Each structure stands twice: as structure tokens, then as C-alpha cells.
Chain A
Amino acid sequence: MDILGIPIQALMGQLMLGIVNGSFYAVLSLGLAIIFGVLKIVNFAHGAFFMVGAFTAFLLAQYMGANYWMTLLLAPLLVALFGMAFEFLFLRRLYGLDPIYGLLLTFSLVLVLEGGFRVAFGSSGQPFATPELLRGTINLGFMILPLYRGFVIVAALVLCLATWYVIERTSLGANLRAATERSELTQAFGVNVPRLITLTYGVGVGLAAFAGVLAAPIFHVNPAMGSSLVIIIFAVVVIGGLGSIMGAIVTGLGLGVVEGFTRVFYSEFSSTIVFLVMVLVLLLRPAGLFGREEG
């Protein structure tokens, strides 16, 4: 069976790859949106934390003999702790200044982290085994799905929805949203806003690291795996707007799918399609699909 001259198996394969990439985009832009909401800082180091997450999982597996499920739990926690320390020690000093300084500080962290891992491990990739349980494929009738990819999609979606639930439906989330809107007033009500900020940064960074662990068996673990990704995430965020959590998730997934289809029909544009969509959105709806006009 063919669609537009493309075998349906190939089409579905690329679509699947698109959804997998889209899941990563969704988790990463979600973290970026949460951090931006509370800290008003665009975390350039988001891709670097993604990479550090993958490396932490690799190191835990290599030297501590941790199995995949333990790394999936431990690596994001460790990276989140590191991120919180970074926020507490350095990022905190820049609040109240022009937000570009936050962007620049996190950018400098990218250089340190990427350079550091390149010094330690070289530029080439480290292989990371797919967990035993998730090897093999299942036949969905219209396509053959590698089990691990299916798991990535489900895990990413569950994580996104859980995060959305915590922010929109719990009292912790309510505090967080209050701090986003009026941080001083929230503090006056007795909420420890500085601690909430540190925690938020930790959660955002932990999400990035979680995505990194998920990505480790699919891509090779290498120091540059985060930096090209973070630029795509920036475009996703410009397209979707940083204002809404759901917007970040939907835009991320959607652009992954668009990218998958582009790979089938115009493969030479597959690495740039997200940027072209961004140009289109800027021309037609400059505030972003889900965005409010910034002040």
C-alpha cells in the first residue's frame, strides 16, 4: 500500500521517528517553559543538562553497575541537584537584572559542561544498551514498532501530563503559578519563593536530564548531543510561546511530526524545517501560537 508514492511502512517509520523526536522536544520545551515562567530566564543550558543526564546514566551503568531503571530514576535526580546548586550559587545573583544576563550565564555553563565532557570522554559517542525488557519489536499491523521507541513516547507523554497535573491541579502548583504572576505578593502570603525558585529550576533541569536518559539508547551518548537540540527547542518555544505548559507540549510533539513528514518528502529540509516554520509563525502570528504579546 502506498501513500503519495511512499510505501506506508516507510511513511509510518518516519512518522514514528518524528513522534519520538517530538516527545523529546515536548519534555525539553516543557522544562524550559516552567523555568522561564518562574525565573524569567531562558535556560540555555537545557540541552547541556540533557547531555549530562545521558552521561550520568552512562556512568552509573558503567561504573556502578546500575540497571536501566535505576539510572532513569537516579540520573535526573543527580542532575537536578547539580542544577539547584548552580541556581543557588550563581543564577540567583542575576535576578532583577536584564534577563539576557541569565541567558548568557547559562550559555557559559554550556561551554563549561560541553568542553568538560569532551576533555573527559572525547567527541565520539559512547554506546548505551537498550534495557533487556524493551528489546525487540511489536507488529502493529501497519508497521513494526521497536519496543523501546514506543516506551519513550509513552514515558515522555506520562511525564508531561504528570507535570501539567502538578502545576495546574495541586497546591504546590498553585503556589508556583502565583509566584509566576506576582512573586512578591506570593512571598507576602508566606510562601518561601526563593526555595520555590530553586526547586523549579531543579524540576526543569531534571526533566531535561530524564529526556537525556531516554535518548541515550537511541542516540550515542556524546558531548554535543544537547547543543544542536537546544537551538531547535528555542525555535519550538518561539513558535509555541513560553506562556503555556500545554502549548509547549503540543508544539513540541507537533513539530516532531512535521519534521518526520519532511524527512519523507523533502529530506534535505528535515534539519531546517522547524526554523522555517518559526519564520512563518513570526510573519503570521508573531506572538507565537499559544503566546501572549510580551510587555
Chain B
Amino acid sequence: MRSLSATLLALGLLALLAVPFFPELVYSIFIMKTLCFVLFACAFNLLLGHTGILSFGHAAFFGTGAYVTGLLVKYYGVPTELGILAGGLVAAALGAIIGALAIRRSGIYLAMITLALSQLVFFFFLQAPFTGAEDGLQRIPRGTFLGIVDLRNDTALYYVVLGIVAVGLWLVWRTVNSPFGHVLRAIREHEPRAISLGYPVARYKVLVFTISAGLSGIAGALKAIVFQLAALYDAHWHTSGDVILMTLMGGMSTVFGPAVGAALVSALNHYLDPFGAWVTVITGLVFMTCVLTFRQGVVGQLNQLLRSRRLSAPDAKVDARPRTNHQ
């Protein structure tokens, strides 16, 4: 199974590397947008899937990343790579603040608090004099990467985005498979026990909130550079809902399931775009179906299928012990 997923990962990476060579087949801007959402969803799932915290306000971090990067690059001439980094850092700081407030309650209260706080952030971007209100922050220059790679070239930009997203995903994977990640799962499974074992649970939660928000901010920053636009929609609660759908659809008990979900939702939005308001209706129906019948998500379901096949195979004795799967 490990070899199977490694093969799949390698194939996927190869396909992604090849994208700019087949412009008549795939539209590289669309893939870049999808990559941003892939990072966003995987970062979001650090909270939902791995710590058991539902944040309904992650658009605040995504939007903050986009706006901060846009403002710095456009008005202060900050180099693009530093702008993206700053976007991630400011989003992380906001994540620490919102996280510290939100974890004063738990469960659905926490979800409602994050939603309300993200609405506060949304109103800030709507009303602040420097964000372009409903129009968003437009004509953000793409600049160069490290002063050498000209990002106005879509192919160059594509590889830079792919590289940054890959590093981001590696960070997510590293976090999940670290001792820190194990404590997070302990908190998800049984919070009182984690407390009684002496773990400073509140601090862990704020920290994972911060990491998740920072990576979400990076994702938003990349989207702002790709589209040269920090849109108000990026900070809207619809975006918070989208990222939850991506995660749920891909499988929140896995590390890279949300990536698959992000690709699916992104494709859904892309191909349904001509149908206008129907997109919302169809997204809603898909969401409903996922919640009612498909809570494990695509990758979760696939994992289960593989596992049960393994167990029914004659030589299953060797590996029949139950194990949690986190690749």
C-alpha cells in the first residue's frame, strides 16, 4: 500500500511537472489556482482532520495573505517572494489571535466564533481605504522571483507556484507525522486525557491554528500573485465553506485527501462557471451528499477499500493488525 501511494504521488508529480508542455490540453492558470486551493485545503485540514477543530473562518487567513502580499508588492515595491512570505506571516499572526480567542470555546461554538471573527476581517477589507472595497486590490505586479525569474511568464510562474505549494505540503506532512502531530491527534481523540497527561492543550491548539493560518495565507498570497488580484471573495464566508467542502470531499482523515478534494471542487467551479448561480446550488447539493453519505471522502473511502481487500486476501495475517493510516 505504501508503494502504491508512493507510485501515485510520483505519477501525480510527473503530471504536474508536465503541465506547461501541453497548453492545448490544460490551462496552466487553472492548475495554479487549483494548487493554491490544494495547499489551502491541506493546511485547513491540520485543524479539522488532525486536531478535530472546525474553523468556519479560514477565508480570513486566505484573504489576509492575498491582501497583505498584494499591498506590499503593489505599493511598497517589496520583492514578490518576500511579499508572499509576509502574507503568510501576517496570516499566521492573525491565526494566533483568532485561534487564542476561538479555543476559549469548543465544538460548534468554536465554529460560530471563527465565522464571526472572519466576518470582522471581511468588513475590515471591505471598508479599509486601501483595499479597493468590492473591486478588490487590482493590477498587482507579479515581479520576479529572487530577482532572476521573470514571473510575467506563465510557465516560470507555474513552476514557482508548484515549488512553493510542494514545500507547503511537505510542511503539512511533516507537522502531521511529528510528535507534535501525534499530540494533536490525541487531543482530537480524547481532549481531557491529553490534558491529564500534562500536555498544554490550549497552547498546542493555538500553535496548530497559527501554522494552519500561515500556510493558508501563503496559499492566498500565491493566488493573488497568479491572478494579480486580491479579491474580496477570497475573504468571504463562501470561501470558508468551499475549503470545508474540499476537505470533506477528499477525506479529512488523510493528509493529502483534501488535495484531491480541492482539485475536484476547483474543477467543479471551473466547468460550471457558465451556469451562473447554478454553481452555488450544485455545490450545495454535492456538499449535502458528502455530509449525508460520503463522510470519509474520496481518499478515505479508497483507503478503506484497499485495506479491506488486504484483509480478505489469504496472506493477510502478516499485516492484519489495525493501523491508522496517515499517508
Contact = CB atoms under 8 A, between A and B. Distances in A.
B116 A231 contact: yes
Interface stretch (A94-102, A182-190, A203-211): A94-102
B281 A286 contact: no
Of all A-B residue pairs in the complex, the 6 with the closest CB atoms, nearest first, are A111-B284, A115-B280, A108-B287, A112-B284, A115-B281, A234-B112
Contact of B277 (A104, A118, A272, A276): A118
30 contacts: A42-B112, A94-B292, A99-B107, A100-B108, A100-B111, A101-B295, A104-B244, A104-B287, A105-B288, A108-B285, A109-B284, A111-B280, A111-B281, A111-B284, A112-B285, A118-B277, A228-B119, A231-B119, A234-B115, A235-B112, A237-B112, A238-B109, A238-B113, A271-B123, A272-B123, A276-B120, A282-B104, A283-B101, A286-B104, A287-B105
B126 to A, nearest CB: 9
Contacts of A231: 115-116, 119, 237
A49 to B, nearest CB: 15
Nearest to B111: A103
A219 interface: no
Interface in B77-102: 101
A276 B120 CA distance: 8
Contacts of B56: 103
Given A108-B291, A109-B284, 20 more contacts: A42-B108, A90-B288, A90-B292, A99-B107, A103-B54, A108-B284, A108-B287, A112-B288, A115-B279, A118-B277, A119-B281, A231-B115, A234-B116, A235-B112, A235-B116, A238-B105, A238-B109, A276-B120, A279-B120, A286-B105
A275 B285 contact: no
A294 interface: yes
Contact of A294 (B107, B241, B280, B281): B107
B7 interface: no
A67 B108 CA distance: 40
B106 interface: yes
Interface of B: 54, 56, 101, 104-109, 111-113, 115-117, 119-120, 123-124, 127, 237, 241, 244, 248, 276-285, 287-288, 291-292, 295
Q: Which bracket fits the contact residues of A?
A: 35 or more
Contacts of B105: 238, 282, 286-287, 294
Nearest to B124: A272
Contacts of A116: 281
B259 to A, nearest CB: 20
Contact of A275 (B108, B117, B295): B117
Interface string A213-247: 00000000000000110011011011000000000
Contacts of A276: 120
A114 B116 contact: no
Nearest to B240: A107
A285 to B, nearest CB: 10
A232 B116 CA distance: 7
B291 A112 contact: no
A268 interface: yes
B54 A278 contact: no
B119 A275 contact: yes
A282 B109 CA distance: 11
Q: What is the predominant secondary structure among interface residues of chain B facing chain A? A: helix
Interface string A254-295: 000000000000001001101110110011001100000010
A278 B113 contact: yes
Nearest to B287: A108
B277 A115 contact: yes
Nearest to B288: A108
Contacts of A101: 291, 295
Contacts of A99: 107-108
A100 B247 CA distance: 14
Contacts of A108: 284-285, 287-288, 291
Nearest to A119: B277
A278 B285 CA distance: 32
Nearest to A275: B120
Which of A42, A93, A94, A238 counts the most chain B CB atoms within 10 A?
A238
A110 B295 CA distance: 19
A290 B120 CA distance: 23
B292 to A, nearest CB: 6
A279 B117 contact: yes
